Structure 1
């Protein structure tokens, strides 16, 4: 295992000056190591990446994800707007349900991947990535802003978003809310009291491949710091610790979750990224990018696809490293790679020609001038046990503004 934090964290270029979340002072009080990430001054680690990673896999970890953006769509034409804007089928969502989706350019490549929440009838929340906030808001306004019966609001700075992740996340958060968290299914949410605050959005979502919740509280420093402290105190018996972006990256890599600028971008399309299960071509709406994606299908499909790699020989495949056939031909590139602290293997995601995507296919990765053997494997590298079959939680609708 490498102990160099830069080996684990993807490089994201960012303009100055850096923005700060409401928990900035709290992170410094916890002696977090701060880094420039997508224009935000964010904690990369506190006690150490591996310790934080393992805490999430075995107990509970707490993340500040307030740098993420939020766009609210309201009005009688909001569903039509969402259907045009995003590739998944929002007509299937019930109030209190969320799903993964993406905004696409007309050529079928990614503006951004998102999580869409149905807050109520004619009321949706789109959670977007931190490094693409301004671009995404502009794209939304350009694409659907001219539609009648629609109100678009950038509510990104209204809330502090705290992610409570791990097998003990429910037990931790349950101490702080009268809402029965047990019935909330994965990718469902509700509203309720948390830490004495009313109308907090409580979502069973996350970006770690683990069970967990994300809560949205007012973005003032005093309230944010109080809730952060109470969450950590509630999880103390389960070994709860604050976690940074380094662990967030290795956790999502073990779960083979895409990261914008790495596995998805404005040069990669949905079929190449293996995200076709979220792209509903037959939903009856000509969403942005659909025509181009249909042409790719008609032409026989993508020429390359994203695969998982496991290093067979000693060596770590890092972001940007070249992938070769065993005959020495360069065939692709790693998009994300590092040791997997929990799976105890050196793992990576990479784009390779479709003739190399079958699990068991052997390839080579150039690591510091040496060819190191790797094998294509099924993803995700780590998969948690599913939650038990439960009914959706009752939903109390409330505005997000």
Structure 2
């Protein structure tokens, strides 16, 4: 078993980045060492580090049996003695970090993504962000959102609130009706008619799921299994990638007063900028626009100078922005410095470009 002794200045994110090559793997370290609060680690503490495992075989089946061996939960198929890990019990439900990474899926399925009209540039920006988030088959049923799923942990929504998960399922239904039927329809799960591209509600047995009592069913281990199985299906994974990329439509192309009537894309249009902004919007969406506005001011540039400038002006603002986002707001971005280091690694490896105008979106084709 590989171990690591915590040093001064370490965080779980920085340890995961240095020891495992991906900041997002801090969750695996936390789970393995029973760490509930990742900010409460001590110098000298010895951590066990996870051993990489191969992804499980994919697909949902009707003959599944759920086995609970506290604190772990497994699934097993009838007439098959093999047990498969589903998740670990935590608080009100279970936590599953998943095994299917975005990077590996994208690498192995270019044709599937091309069929969804996803550009290479959009893929580049997403890859430089996705390591900071979860795996494609990640599931969380333990918090007040009842069910969170996938790389960006789309949720069912707390209490009576709408959630982002129904919007993802709506997109699966539109793009791959057969996959929707396999993982949702045959189990009486649908999306409400008022679900839009971002938020909505599920329907279960012809009833809108919009209360704590109705959402409780989606905490059950059998539902967690169905979502985990969906996250191992290439069709659903492709829609996760598309839905994640569609997030740019929420913040990147809209003109707003906070940026002098400009859109972020008008001002900062490199793949590097796009990846950093997506990372920020997933983690602290409300902080993105004001952080950029402050960065432009600190760089001593006007919006027109930035809009009409080149690579030099763009990088000047990005450098200011990276410093600002580490401390901006009452609850700054989680592990902002190491998250930025992940994206920078993609830049240094030549996988994304810092050139102004290098980010190309296919949004008008979809």
Q: TM-score, normalised by structure 1?
A: 0.31
**Which structure shows the bigger proportion of residues in helix conformation?**
2
**Which structure shows the bigger proportion of residues in strand conformation?**
1
Identify the structure with bigger relative contact order (alpha carbons < 8 Å, sequence gap 6+).
1
Q: TM-score, normalised by structure 2?
A: 0.33
